[in-house]
Structures are given as C-alpha cells and as structure tokens.
Structure 1
Amino acid sequence: MTAPTYDVIAIGNAIVDILSQAEDSFIVEQGMTKGSMALMFSPEEADALYAKMGPGREVSGGSAANTVAGIAALGGRCGFIGQVADDQLGEVFAHDIRAAGVDFDTAPRAGAPTTARCLIFVTPDGQRTMNTFLGASQFLPASALDEDLIASGAILYLEGYLWDPEEPRAAMRKAIEIARANGRKVAFTLSDVFCISRHGGDFRALIADGLIDILFANENELLALCEHEDFESAVAHIHGKVPVLVVTRSEKGAIALVGDERVTVSAEPIEAVIDTTGAGDLFAAGFLHGQAQGLGIEKSLKLGALCAAEIIQHYGARPEADLKELAAARLG
C-alpha cells in the first residue's frame, strides 16, 4: 500500500450558490421550511423562484466542495470530483475551487441541463433556507471517477446530498470500493433530514456493512437516522456502529464518539451570526484536517468549531479569514 499524497478527496454536488436576504414572512409565503433544503426539479421552477429573490450574491458552493476548500485554506492538500455543465456557472465553479487550492479535473458536461445552482434565502437570524436545482451535478457518472486520485487520498469524503440521483449514487458506491481496496478511510456526511427521509435505509446499510469510518451529522439528522426523539437515546443507538461519530449541535457545541471515548467541545464565541450557510461543511473541514494531520479528537473538534465560527460570521460558505492564522492563534 502506497502512502497517500492527498489528505482528502471529496465527491459532491458542484453548485454555485446565489444568496439573498429575506424576511421570515417571505419564507412562509413561498411555502418553504425555514432552515432546510428543498429540491427544485426543473430549470423553470428555479427561474421562477430566482425572479422573486432580492439582490443576490453568487458564491461557489456545494457541501463537500466547501469542505475541501476549507481544508485547503488550512493548508491541506485536497481533490474534488463533481459534475458541472459547459456553461458560465460551470466556469465560475471550476475557477473558484481551483483558486482555493483544490485539484479539480472533472470534465464539464455538454448540453442541458445547466450547472447546479442553489438559491439561498438568509433571514435576519442568520438561518439559511436552501432551494437547489441539481442540474448537471446529478449526472456524475462512475466513468468520471479518477481512480488514481481516489486511491491517493487518505480520506474519501462523500456528501449525502449527492445520494439522491441514481447516477452519482452509483459513482459514490464505486468510489467507496476503490477507497476500501486501497486501505483508505471513508467519511460521510448525512447532509440534511431531507436526505435521510429519502435514503435513510441506504445510509443505515452503509453503516451496518462497515463502509463508513467517520460519520458527520447534526443533532436533527442524528435523530432522523436513528428514528429517536431523544438525543442521548440516538447517541446510544448509533454508538459502536461507526468508528468515529461527529455530531454538531449549533450553539451547544459538538461531540465525537470514538470507541468508548466521548469528547465534547463548546461552540466558539462569536460577535453575531450573519449566515449559517456552510457551518457544517466547515466544521467537517476542520475536523478532517485535524485527523489528517494526526491531531487528537478534541483538537480536531476544536478546529472544526473554529472553522464553523468563521463561516457563520459572513455571507457565503467559503472562508474569508485566514484559517491557518486563526488555528495557530487559538490552538497553537
């Protein structure tokens, strides 16, 4: 087995986020569930909602893409696999992720549909309500996988959002096989309760089959996965079924379970919550970077909390502050 040359290789939706401020009343009027993600199934639906948005700001996004951008900002070496279309938004996404220091070589897809976009409405309390048109990202084929790239990463990181379409789901199953065959770890984020409602059986099967080494969830996702109403009961239910379980709990901090060890960290203090878009993604970035660098669980959790705190203090899900400087100042 050769030594890995990348810290993390991620597979996920290649999306350009369009963020706009909105009042709670707008969320209600549009029939949205505040703080959640909903899919839009046609470009016409996406165009109609876009027309109702206030002034917007375009920022490259996608859950796993945000995570590897965060790891790169911390000094890690990462690669990303995701499908864009041969269009302007596809060029924006490719430019941004490469400029962040992430290797990205997936060939763009010709023709319709367009590159994925996520319309994000940020309410005054900083909560983000997402409406996603998956576009080209849902047509990532297994043939687009760079097997050598996957084999060269210490950790393969997969996002639950991409499990919905059939083609990328098959691609991710193949990627897990490649990572396993090369002795690499597999990390998986549940992404959203919406994903669990549609594919919870698949996720539970991946866990039961021992295919997940590191599982990321927030509190609501854990409850949905375990089909429990009480947090501690859900933790007890999943305990021992994955080698590493990481659960974020917003202002209550985060926990990690590794074997019989349970580690808890507090949320980092901040001045104000501006936009929670990408908080979980950047928490995963800090934690995975810590693990790739051989830090212990507690330091990895603290690094995750630090990265999440940075991201929620501005709009967009890509870091604006120097994460390496922040980490050095807070963690040494």
Structure 2
Amino acid sequence: MASERVLLGMGNPLLDISAVVDRDFLSKYGIKLNDAILAEDKHKPMYEEIASKYNVEYIAGGATQNTIRVAQWMLQVPGATSYMGCIGKDRFGEEMKKSSKSAGVNVHYYEDESTPTGTCAVCVVGGERSLVANLSAANFYKSDHLKRPENWALVEKAKYFYIAGFFLTVSLESILLVAEHAAANQKTFMMNLSAPFIAEFFKDHLEKVFPYMDYIFGNETEARTFSRVQGWETDDVEEIALKLSALPKASGTHKRIAVITQGADPVVVAEDGKIKLFPVILLPKEKLVDTNGAGDAFVGGFLSQLVQEKPIEDCVRAGCYAANEIIQRSGCTYPDKPDFK
C-alpha cells in the first residue's frame, strides 16, 4: 500500500481546454488538423473564444501532471501523490486546481499574479484533434516557491520524485535542489527525456542533472536523438538504453535503470548491463481514440507500482495497462477505477 505523499512531481502545468469546434474556427486561427503547435500571438484570443462559445471540458494537463494524475488514479490512495508547478491567478488556474484536487492529487501551485495560466487548446473536428499550447505562467516557476517550508515539507515527505524533461527549460535550480536531496537521503529521483529538442537545445542542463537520475524514461525517437547529440553513433535502442543506464551517477545508492518505450514494439529496460524486453498490449485500430498522453500514462502506471516496491515486471505491466486505457479515450483521461490486477 502506498503511503501518503510518497510521490512528488514537478513540471509545467497546462490546462487542457478540449472542445468539438467547427472548421471555421480552425480557419480563423490558421490551425491544421492533427497538428501540435506552440501558440503565436494570433492564437492568443482563441482560448477565451473556445471557452465561451463551445461546450468545453477542462482537464489538468502538462506532461508531469498527467503522469502524477495517472499514478494517483492507479494507486487509489487519497493524497499519495503531490505536484508543484506555476499557474496564473485566474479562471483557468481555478479550473486547474479543481481538476487536480478532484483527481486526488495534493497540489501546491505557485500562483503568478501577472501571467495567465498555461493552456492547451484541444480542437476536435470529426474525431480528429489539433493542439495549440500556450505555456504562459508555466514558464515562470521559481525555486523560492520550492524553498517555502510548506512546500519543502513535501520534498522531505516524498520518497520518489518524477520530473519531465520539459521542466529543464524552466527551473534547473529547482530540479537540482530536489535531485541533491534525493541523492543525500537515499531516495529515488526520476526524469524523462520528454522531447528531442530537450537533448538538442538543453544538453548542458540535462548533463547537470543526469548523474542524479535513478530512472530515465523516454521513447525511441528521444533516445536516438540523445545518442546522436552525445556522439554515440548508434541508432540501436537497446544499445542506447544500456549506455543511458551506464552513465556516471552522483549517488551509488541505486544503479540507474533506463526504460524506453517504442509505440507498439516492446518496452526496453536496461538494468545492470542487461536488457529486458516487455511486450505491450496491442489494441485493435478501431478502438484507438487518441494517443496524446500515452507516454505520460505509461510512466504514471509504472510509478504506481514502483512506489509500492513491486518488481520491474509489474511496473512495466502497469505502465502498459495505463497507456492502453488512456489511448481508448479522448485526452489524458481514464475510467473511475482502474481494473489492473
């Protein structure tokens, strides 16, 4: 059984604003179907418009927050998970708080009064969706918030920490504070490669934190990009996973484990110089609704078993189960109760 506040996540909270819209709305803002983009100035008014004109669903999103929500859902233990990130003091921020709390996550948001809450418009037309993300307040998290006694208490209480690579673009100082605490106190610190651009453009930040990582997650594209940037001259995912697991560590308490997903192909786990492959749950095409959030959900399922000190086989199985559930639904959402045995 997981204890209260055992798992802490930090990241970029984005409120997903999901609605079925019409093609005129897409044309007005120059949005293509099945695209995922960062908002430009021309997109800024669309968030209020979608919220006022359409029947919208609000979902607390952002990569780390998705993972923590899924872990919380899998655990079914109130307050087992905590989360920190920056939101604005506005209507969307209030929706984010409501959504997170109803998911059972213990959220301690830093509220920036001068910047709006980060949002991601999920525009659905004929079952196809386009994503337009506006980071806004998520970009302004400060380590001063982490150092506040009520927030640092969450760090001291947690035994496991998970941060998506996207947060490297926001607050390296916060990540290092948590990483160093984990190493000094024999706790488990985990990160995700998150996107190819992290390995390419935030290489220095990644290299500063890598020695503290007890687990590193990623998909095959991110792993291959990391390999290329490091000059490893291999595209072989198993070989890359072994190299990731063998990079130097700041603390000898845990050997690093690398976990690389490959879509419908087996999950690669590198541990102790050995590779294990785990098949995923194959889903008939007609049942696939939306792969958005599948990677986040995999890690959430994985962590739900890890914090209960289950073997790696159970962690991967739970990750595959959670990802399989999420891709059969719109957005990173899930049934009321998990059916994982």
TM-score (norm. length: structure 2)? 0.81
1:117 and 2:119 are equivalent in the alignment: yes
Q: Which moved more, 1:129-138 or 1:148-157?
A: 129-138
Q: Using the TM superposition, give the Cα deviation of residue 60 of structure 1 relative to its aligned residue in structure 2, in angstroms.
A: 1.7
Q: Using the TM superposition, give the Cα deviation of residue 108 of structure 1 relative to its aligned residue in structure 2, in angstroms.
A: 2.2
1:1-332 matches, within 5 Å, as 5-19=4-18, 38-40=37-39, 44-47=42-45, 57-75=57-75, 76=77, 77-111=80-114, 113-120=115-122, 130-145=131-146, 146-165=151-170, 168-207=171-210, 210-227=211-228, 228-241=234-247, 243-271=256-284, 272-323=287-338, 326-328=339-341
Matched pairs, number = 314
Q: Using the TM superposition, give the Cα deviation of residue 32 of structure 1 relative to its aligned residue in structure 2, in angstroms.
A: 7.1
Tell me: CA distance 1:229–1:269, structure 2 relative to 1, closer, same or farther (3 Å).
closer
Write out per-residue CA displacement over residues 234-280 of structure 1, whole angstroms, 9 at most, x where no aligned residue. Answer: 33432422711111111113121121332222221334210112111
Instruction: Provide the residue aligned with 2:250 in structure 1.
Output: none
Provide the rounded CA distance (Å) in 2 between the counterparts of 1:120 and 1:240. Answer: 39
Tell me: CA distance 1:200–1:30, structure 2 relative to 1, closer, same or farther (3 Å).
farther
Superposed CA RMSD? 3.1
* Contact kept in structure 1, 2:238 and 2:275, CA below 8 Å: no
Which amino acid is 2:261 matched to?
Answer: T
Tell me: CA distance 1:100–1:201, structure 2 relative to 1, closer, same or farther (3 Å).
same
Provide the rounded CA distance (Å) in 2 between the counterparts of 1:252 and 1:173. Answer: 33
Provide the rounded CA distance (Å) in 1 between the counterparts of 2:126 and 2:313. Answer: 32
Tell me: CA distance 1:204–1:32, structure 2 relative to 1, closer, same or farther (3 Å).
farther
* Contact kept in structure 2, 1:6 and 1:78, CA below 8 Å: yes
Tell me: CA distance 1:172–1:41, structure 2 relative to 1, closer, same or farther (3 Å).
farther
Provide the rounded CA distance (Å) in 1 between the counterparts of 2:143 and 2:47. Answer: 32
SS of residue in 1 equivalent to 2:82: strand
Which amino acid is 1:319 matched to?
Answer: Y
* Contact kept in structure 2, 1:253 and 1:305, CA below 8 Å: no
Which amino acid is 1:116 matched to?
Answer: G
Provide the rounded CA distance (Å) in 2 between the counterparts of 1:226 and 1:101. Answer: 38
Q: Using the TM superposition, give the Cα deviation of residue 223 of structure 1 relative to its aligned residue in structure 2, in angstroms.
A: 0.6
* Contact kept in structure 2, 1:50 and 1:119, CA below 8 Å: no
Query: Any unmatched runs of 5+ in structure 2?
Result: 229-233, 248-254
* Contact kept in structure 1, 2:172 and 2:205, CA below 8 Å: no
Query: Any unmatched runs of 5+ in structure 1?
Result: none
Which amino acid is 2:237 matched to?
Answer: F
Write out per-residue CA displacement over residues 137-180 of structure 1, whole angstroms, 9 at most, x where no aligned residue. Answer: 11111011111211211111111112213xx2322222222333
Provide the rounded CA distance (Å) in 2 between the counterparts of 1:49 and 1:17. Answer: 10
> What percentage of aligned pairs have identical amino acids?
20
Q: Report which structure shows greater RCO (CA 8 Å, sep ≥6).
A: 1
Tell me: CA distance 1:96–1:160, structure 2 relative to 1, closer, same or farther (3 Å).
same
Write out per-residue CA displacement over residues 210-254 of structure 1, whole angstroms, 9 at most, x where no aligned residue. Answer: 211110101101111111434344334324227111111111131
Provide the rounded CA distance (Å) in 1 between the counterparts of 2:259 and 2:184. Answer: 25
SS of residue in 2 equivalent to 1:253: strand
Provide the rounded CA distance (Å) in 1 between the counterparts of 2:242 and 2:184. Answer: 31
